[in-house]
């Protein structure tokens, strides 16, 4: 397997950071040294990895001396402040924030789709948005076989995408409503000084801030990232992102138009059966289709409800589900690290 690596996890106490640790352990990722980093506020906490306790340290530039791979998931401001410092000290940064995703010199990588882009990094590799990742994993085999010219996606996203505090708020609000008690809506839909709305028993058609074009930043991330990952700047993509009162697991209703008119739903299903990272769950007669409750804790992308559009001969509809903390974040990051090792790039 080669030498073990010196790995740093930045944001180790957060929802994604903890999943990164769990995934590294489950994958038995070969490392000689592990350092857990966080903000000053979370420093001093203890976390366990392979039965051994680690004390979380405050992330500072000097933390990255000797580090081979640094997995970042502590927010964009932390990545902007420390990622280049880590690279200066010889580390390859795999960043889970939006800080570098659209930088033209930073590859935006989903290994099942564009692993070859890892050959062209300058020290930083960006992990795409969770919703983008699961969608492109499902659509890439279709694009390769039949072409792709349009995507219209509506997402139904879990609150864990907004962090551990948002999940706690969902639980607290749900308990309060069921017990007819008052509560404050503090976190949803975005952590800012804007309005916040009840998430329990509700659907919020806003994730992140609105842009001048009427789309939210989350929607624009899906649009721009999909084009970059697939190397298709001309691809037509539109997104509507909605937060639902689900703890973990993002779902997406996706409409696509391909280049050919002679393709059947069965052709699409047959492709997806053998697609890397995809599990097809599609049997209407048995009411078999993907659901977020079933995807929690699993690294795959689940696809079902594949059907041909009734009006457009080149149009198809799909339902795509994945654990947003795993394939949408932690697993994709660790998978990138595994690819770097396999390609002898670290």
The residues annotated as belonging to the active site are 130, 250
> How many other C-beta atoms can be found within 10 angstroms of the C-beta atom of residue 252?
25
Task: Note the residue count of the chain.
Answer: 346
Before 299, cis peptide (omega within 30)? no
Q: Which residue has 């200066």 as its token pair?
A: 88
Contact call for residues 54 and 36 (beta carbons, < 8 A): yes
Backbone angles phi, psi at 237, to 5 degrees: -135, 135
Contact call for residues 75 and 97 (beta carbons, < 8 A): yes
The CA distance from 292 to 288, in Å, is 13
The CA distance from 301 to 279, in Å, is 6
Backbone angles phi, psi at 229, to 5 degrees: -60, -40
CA-to-CA separations, 262 to 266, 267, 316, in angstroms, rounded: 12, 10, 12
Residues 6 or more apart whose Cβ sits within 8 Å of residue 28: none
H/E segment holding residue 295 = helix 292-295
Q: What is the DSSP string of 189-258?
A: S-SSSS-----TT--BS--SPBPTTS-BHHHHHHHHHHHHHTT-TT-EEEEEEEE-S-SS-EEEEEEEE-
Question: Of 153, 181, 134, whose CA–CA distance to 254 is shortest?
Answer: 153
């Amino acid at each position: 397997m080669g030498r073990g690596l010196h790995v740093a996890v930045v944001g180790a106490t957060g929802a994604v950071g903890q999943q990164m640790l769990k995934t590294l352990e489950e994958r038995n990722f070969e490392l000689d040294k592990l350092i857990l980093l966080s903000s000053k506020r979370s420093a001093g906490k203890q976390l366990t990895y392979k039965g051994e306790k680690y004390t979380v340290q405050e992330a500072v530039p000097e933390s990255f001396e000797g580090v081979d791979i640094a997995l970042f998931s502590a927010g964009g401001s932390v990545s902007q402040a420390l990622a280049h410092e880590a690279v200066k000290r010889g580390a390859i940064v795999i960043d889970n924030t939006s800080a570098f995703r659209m930088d033209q010199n930073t590859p935006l990588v989903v290994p099942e789709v564009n692993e070859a882009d890892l050959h062209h990094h300058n020290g930083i590799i960006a992990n795409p948005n969770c919703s983008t990742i699961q969608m492109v994993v499902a659509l890439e085999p279709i694009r390769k076989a039949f072409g792709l010219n349009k995507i219209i996606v509506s997402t139904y996203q879990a609150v864990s995408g907004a962090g551990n505090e948002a999940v706690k708020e969902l639980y607290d609000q749900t308990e309060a409503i069921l017990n007819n008690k008052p509560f404050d809506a503090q976190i949803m839909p975005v952590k800012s000084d804007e309005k916040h709305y009840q998430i329990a028993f509700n659907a919020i058609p806003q994730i992140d801030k609105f842009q001048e074009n009427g789309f939210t930043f989350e929607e624009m991330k899906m649009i721009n990232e999909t084009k970059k990952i697939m190397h298709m700047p001309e691809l037509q993509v539109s997104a509507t992102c909605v937060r639902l009162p689900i703890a973990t697991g993002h779902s997406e209703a996706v409409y696509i138009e391909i280049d050919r008119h002679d393709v059947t739903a069965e052709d699409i299903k047959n492709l997806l059966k053998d697609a890397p990272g995809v599990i097809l769950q599609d049997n209407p007669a048995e009411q078999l289709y993907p659901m977020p409750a079933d995807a929690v804790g699993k690294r795959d992308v689940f696809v079902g409800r594949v059907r041909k559009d009734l009006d457009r001969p080149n149009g198809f509809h799909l339902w795509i589900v994945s654990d947003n903390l795993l394939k949408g974040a932690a697993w994709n990051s660790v998978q990138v690290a595994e690819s770097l090792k396999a390609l002898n790039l670290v």
